Amino acid sequence: MIDLLIDPLTQYGFMRLGLAAAVTVGVTSAVLSCLLVVRHQALLGDAISHAVLLGVAVGYLFAQTAGIFWGALVVAVASGTLITYIERHSPVKLDAVMGIIFTATFAAGLALISITKPRGIDLFHILFGNVLGVSGSDLALTVASGVTVLVVVLARFRAFHLWSFDPLMARAIGMRVGVLEYLLTGLLSATIVAALQAVGLILVIAMLVTPGATALLLTTRLRNMMVVAAAVGLVAAVGGLYVSFYVDIASGPAIVLVATAAFALALLFAPRRGVLARTVQRRRTARRVLTEDLLKALFNADDPSAVTSLAAVGTWLRGRSTNLRWLRRLVRQGLVDLDADGARLTTAGQREALRMVRTHRLLERFAHDADGVPLPQLHDVAERLEHEVDPAGVRDLDRLLGAPQTDPHGHPIPSGTGQLRRIAGRPLSDQPPGAAGRVAMVGDDRTDLLERMVDLGILPDQAVTVLNRADDTLTVRVGEHDVLQVSTDLADRVYVVPTDRDVPTAPGV
């Protein structure tokens, strides 16, 4: 196995030179690709490398092979400048300007080469590279420019970091961002010219995007991103070259394909940002939400250890597109006990359920008090948010609101230690005519009735007196003057504390 890797190097000098060139190019362009990716400028490499063809043709025209490097550099910087200028001074957006300039310079380069037919330029090699044809002097030039690029990036790392994250702040504190922009263009040009031999103009585009994009999936800091990208570039260069040697395909495409494979692996398997990790995370969240909702559904404030029939639980679960097997998960987690009558919350289950009720009601209080969400919409808002608030968030919320006792419907909020106060009171529909009372809480299970209560002003703390009862309507006085008719459906959901005498405690839902 080791021989397979070493033999080509000892037997063929071109492999040694080629490997050194490919590695240099792979690492250098990988580091630069990070800056392009975080600046959302991945196509800048594309644009400049096309422009380099014109530079190569012009440089060769003036000074043959010796002029290629400088010609490429000048044209690359010039086209980068032109792109920036047109973007700033016309309504055409950056992507379109890049498209125009890089095809134009590419076309001009091709035209010039087809007219002058320079003998020292092999168009195929310029476009797609010929790493195994690297000469000693080519390698020296590649290494020199690679080292220069890396040194400059390291020396100006903090400036690049700040500028790429927050260009407005960079300008605000007086950084000369124009200089950075030209510097980046210059570094790109140098890298692309140095990469001509190894991967060619077209394929270097991939090396200026793929390693950076791969590393972005795997890291959370720019510095680490550059290190990982460099490793990807290194692996692509070495791997690609050996693949090219043994499978006998062109070296440039082989290097690019290895880099692409690395990207595909990262995209799928990256620990936090990969497709797989995200899917697992999503499923875990969905499971947690379902568990929390089911615990709340099983919870009965009056009798925390009340038994719910399996038929009822089954109906509830089918409403959430699942079935009774779900209950077994909760049993395994020690949250629910099953017996012949049905399901009952364990102590741990009750604690969890109370925690959910607390979160839900604090959120309702917050949405109502701070954001002015009207009563009928509160439940849905809290239902959406309750699974996203962590315990620290619940504590903050409680402190911020001044440890409220009730939600806006008047329902008691369980304490942080899981104590649930009972609200004294009984349904308005049970009040005898003539008895004065005060609304303690209103049920929130029917949005339409809640809207009607808001319209009528039948809300917590309001004084209400039943004046008369018929079969399905009650005549009540609300506040001082308003005399209204309400349905028993509505009256069933209004809990009243008599104001003239003490009463026994009543359900606290």
Residues that bind other proteins (CB under 8 A): 38, 40, 155, 158-159, 161-162, 164-166, 168-169, 171-175, 216, 219-222, 224-225, 366, 370, 396-397, 400
- Which is closer to other proteins, CB of 54 or CB of 226? 226
Question: CB 168 → other proteins: shortest distance, Å?
Answer: 5
Question: Tokens in use for 33?
Answer: 């690709």
User: In angstroms, rounded to a whole number, what is the distance separating the alpha carbons of residues 28 and 153?
Assistant: 10
Q: What is the DSSP string of 123-190?
A: HHHHHH--GGG--HHHHHHHHHHHHHHHHHHHHTHHHHHHHHH-HHHHHHTT--HHHHHHHHHHHHHH
Question: CB 76 → other proteins: shortest distance, Å?
Answer: 26
- Which is closer to other proteins, CB of 61 or CB of 381? 381
- Which is closer to other proteins, CB of 220 or CB of 321? 220
Report CA torsion sign: 367, 371, 372, 377.
Answer: negative
Question: CB 172 → other proteins: shortest distance, Å?
Answer: 4
- Which is closer to other proteins, CB of 172 or CB of 470? 172
User: In angstroms, rounded to a whole number, what is the distance separating the alpha carbons of residues 41 and 35?
Assistant: 8
Angle among Cα 152, 157, 159 to the nearest 5 degrees reads 110
Q: What is the DSSP string of 294-350?
A: HHHHH--SS-TT--B-HHHHHHHHHHTT--THHHHHHHHTTSEEE-SS-EEE-HHHH
22 three-state secondary structure:
helix
**Element holding 68 (H helix, E strand):** helix 42-89
- Which is closer to other proteins, CB of 224 or CB of 405? 224
Question: CB 95 → other proteins: shortest distance, Å?
Answer: 17
Question: CB 365 → other proteins: shortest distance, Å?
Answer: 12
- Which is closer to other proteins, CB of 176 or CB of 318? 176
- Which is closer to other proteins, CB of 6 or CB of 169? 169
Question: CB 364 → other proteins: shortest distance, Å?
Answer: 14
User: In angstroms, rounded to a whole number, what is the distance separating the alpha carbons of residues 274 and 287?
Assistant: 20
- Which is closer to other proteins, CB of 218 or CB of 440? 218
- Which is closer to other proteins, CB of 219 or CB of 308? 219
- Which is closer to other proteins, CB of 91 or CB of 120? 91
Question: CB 162 → other proteins: shortest distance, Å?
Answer: 5
Question: CB 154 → other proteins: shortest distance, Å?
Answer: 11
Question: CB 214 → other proteins: shortest distance, Å?
Answer: 12
Of residues 247, 14, 216, 259, the one with CA closest to residue 134? 14
User: In angstroms, rounded to a whole number, what is the distance separating the alpha carbons of residues 200 and 455?
Assistant: 74
Question: Tokens in use for 471?
Answer: 């079969």
For residue 460, give Cα distances in angstroms to 47, 67, 457, 488. 67, 86, 9, 18
- Which is closer to other proteins, CB of 74 or CB of 385? 385
Q: Spell out the residues 6+ positions from residue 173 whose beta carbon is closer than 8 angstroms to its own.
A: none
CB 84 within 8 A of CB 98: no
User: In angstroms, rounded to a whole number, what is the distance separating the alpha carbons of residues 484 and 476?
Assistant: 5
User: In angstroms, rounded to a whole number, what is the distance separating the alpha carbons of residues 338 and 344?
Assistant: 6
User: In angstroms, rounded to a whole number, what is the distance separating the alpha carbons of residues 318 and 168?
Assistant: 53
User: Counting beta carbons within 10 angstroms of the beta carbon of residue 259, is it exposed (0 to 12), middle (13 to 18) or buried (19 or more)?
Assistant: buried
Question: CB 431 → other proteins: shortest distance, Å?
Answer: 38
- Which is closer to other proteins, CB of 217 or CB of 335? 217
Question: CB 385 → other proteins: shortest distance, Å?
Answer: 11
Expressed in angstroms, the distance from the first to the final Cα of the chain is 72
Question: CB 434 → other proteins: shortest distance, Å?
Answer: 44
User: In angstroms, rounded to a whole number, what is the distance separating the alpha carbons of residues 234 and 264?
Assistant: 17
